[in-house]
Amino acid sequence: MIRSAAMAAVLLSASAAFAAPVPITKAPRGQPVTLTGKVMRITDADAFRMKDETGAVTVYVGPNALPIHVGEEVTVLGALEEGFPPEFVARALRRSDGTEVRFRHDWG
């Protein structure tokens, strides 16, 4: 987990609107992007694994609670961190029923 001022700047610059999703394996690092996939498992109180037909990624929503369930199809807006393995830091999430949840990240 990088949790840097640079990542905070990327997330703040991201449009609040969901764009057309890109495949997980094609997501650029350090740039705003939208991903869509199925929740594979909950990995922490504020993180989950998501997969699409190309791969899987850990999605971090902290310090916010997870508004999803295993097996649910979701769309997330955020940015893929530069670290290895990369983690996707979500700014917003859209559930399959159309409900949208925004996340606030407080990094110094």
Question: pLDDT tens digit string along 31-87?
Answer: 999 999 999 999 999 999 999 999 999 999 988 888 899 999 999 999 998 878 889
Pick left, alpha or beta for residue 24 (phi over 0 → left; psi -120 to 50 → alpha; otherwise beta). Answer: alpha
Question: pLDDT tens digit string along 11-46?
Answer: 554 456 788 999 999 999 989 999 999 999 999 999
Hunting for tokens 């949208």 — which residue is that? 100
Confidence band of 107 (pLDDT split at 50, 70, 90)? low
Per-residue DSSP letter, 91 = E
Nearest to 76 by CA among 40, 100, 97: 100
Domain boundaries 5-102, corresponding CATH code:
2.40.50.200
Model confidence, pTM: 0.83
Q: What angle do CA 9, 99, 12 make, to 5 degrees?
A: 5
Share above pLDDT 70 across residues of the chain, in percent, rounded to a whole number: 82
In degrees and rounded to multiples of 5, residue 58 shows phi and psi of -85, 130
